[in-house]
A and B are shown apart, each in its own frame.
Chain A
Amino acid sequence: MGEEVKLFRTWSSPFALRIVWALRIKAIEYETVFEDISNKSPSLLQCNPVHGKVPVLLHNGRPIAESLVILEYIDEAWKQAPLLPVDPHERAMARFWAKFGDDKVLGSIWSVFIKQGKEQEEAMVPAMENLKFLEEELKGKKFFGGDTIGFVDLALGWLANLIGLLEEIVGLKVVDGEKLPLLSAWMQEFGDAPIIKDNWPARDRMILKFQALRDATIAAASK
């Protein structure tokens, strides 16, 4: 039976990248629909009427939204190359770390990125605390998933790309190889894995985009 798989994404969304990686890891054929956030297509709005956001996965005409929900769906609908472990407690821990990434790590890193001077220094404190928890979690493991890339690696994967970019833009080292050796090593291993590496968005375009975002946020905050 022919499967129809479509992914609505933008060129830069780290959440959509999770889905690209998952589909590639499971060798699922799919069609990409690139969206312009300032001019969303009627299809996207129909598929995700509640949030109107990307990514959305359309599988045989049925839409699934919210990237971590989509990842679990992909893992359940296509059994090859499993992303989540089998043991219920390990699954719960994987879900926990993925949620921690989205609820805490992302916001704390972003705060460091959009602030300056003393405020930026203060923002580094919770960011570093959060990164230390991830460092602890990597003890004895190559990836968060163990020997192979798994659910948590895909969920936290944005770190492997964005951290380097943000550090370059603000001129500040956030993931220091001495203070966070395991996390640094993971960023390298994960970032260089073929499926992951092939799909990073264009670096120079990302730098321009995030520089502009930083400038705009700082300008708005000083009004």
Chain B
Amino acid sequence: MADEIMLLDWWSSMFGMRVRIALVEKGLKYESREEDLNNKSPLLLEMNPVHTKIPVLIHNGKPICESPIIVQYIDEVWKDKSPLLPADPYQRARARFWADYIDNKIFQLGGKIWTRKGEDREAAKKELMECLKILEGELGEKPYFGGENFGFVDVSLVTFSCWFYAYESCGNFSIEAECPKLIAWTKRCLQKSSVSSSLPDPLKIHDFVVQLRKKFGIE
């Protein structure tokens, strides 16, 4: 019986992008549905009653929510192709630790850079750069966070890279200037079709952010 896979998504969501990457890595066919976040579909409300957020993966009618949980689910069900988590429990724990770190820091800090002004923005900028430097340190000389192979931590972080240009413009700074190895890593990841086909153009994200800032009256 063929698997039925549907993804409830939103084009600019870093979290939705993670699921797209995982699905392509595993060579899976799926139906993508773009949600209108101002007018959420009955399907979304039924499949994610607790958070009513995207992404939601619906596999043979059963929903899975929260992007790191969805990516692990995909990795466990389709375990024979392109494993995203390593086999060794300690390495898996390290991967989960860094994915958790990324989730607790990058979204909020990046968000503050384009939604706040003055001191708040400067503080967020400084903290974001500290976090990215820590992540760059964790990458070290490896081609990917997963080592020789693209893995769970790479999936978790690379989706923020299409938002970097928007953060840099709003905050007037350069991530590459302080984290060149990290930017080199993003370029390496973008050479993979799973990544390049899942991430929107950074210019499109930038224009979206400019529109939102105008709408909410943020300078």
Known: A64-B90, A92-B64. A72 touches B96 (CB 8 A): yes
Q: Are B92 and A99 in contact (CB under 8 A)?
A: no
- B interface footprint on A44-73 (CB within 8 Å = 1, 0 otherwise): 000000100000000100101110111011
Q: Are A50 and B101 in contact (CB under 8 A)?
A: yes
CB distance from A139 to the nearest CB of B (A): 14
Q: Are A92 and B134 in contact (CB under 8 A)?
A: no
CB distance from A157 to the nearest CB of B (A): 20
The verdict on B89 contacting chain A, using a C-beta distance below 8 Å, is: yes
The verdict on B28 contacting chain A, using a C-beta distance below 8 Å, is: no
Q: Are A64 and B97 in contact (CB under 8 A)?
A: yes
Q: Are B97 and A65 in contact (CB under 8 A)?
A: yes
| Complex Cα–Cα for A59 and B73 (A) | 26
Known: A66-B100, A95-B69, A100-B50. A88 touches B89 (CB 8 A): no
Q: Are B66 and A73 in contact (CB under 8 A)?
A: no
**B93 touches which one: A72, A88, A91, A95 (CB < 8 A)?**
A72
CB distance from A73 to the nearest CB of B (A): 4
**Which residue of chain B lies nearest to A91 when distances are taken between CB atoms in the complex?**
B76
Q: Are B89 and A76 in contact (CB under 8 A)?
A: yes
Interface range, A side: 20 to 34
A96: B residues at CB distance < 8 A:
64-66, 69
A50: B residues at CB distance < 8 A:
101, 134
Known: A88-B77, A89-B62. A99 touches B69 (CB 8 A): yes
| Complex Cα–Cα for A64 and B90 (A) | 8
**Which residue of chain B lies nearest to A77 when distances are taken between CB atoms in the complex?**
B89
Q: Are B65 and A88 in contact (CB under 8 A)?
A: no
**B70 touches which one: A68, A73, A76, A92 (CB < 8 A)?**
A92
A72: B residues at CB distance < 8 A:
92-93, 96
Q: Are B90 and A69 in contact (CB under 8 A)?
A: no
CB-defined A-B contacts under 8 Å, sample of 23: A50-B101, A59-B90, A64-B90, A64-B97, A66-B97, A68-B100, A69-B93, A69-B96, A72-B93, A73-B92, A76-B89, A76-B92, A89-B59, A89-B73, A91-B72, A92-B64, A92-B69, A92-B73, A95-B66, A95-B69, A96-B65, A100-B50, A133-B50
Binding site for B on A (CB under 8 A): 50, 59, 62, 64-66, 68-70, 72-73, 76-77, 88-89, 91-92, 95-96, 99-100, 133
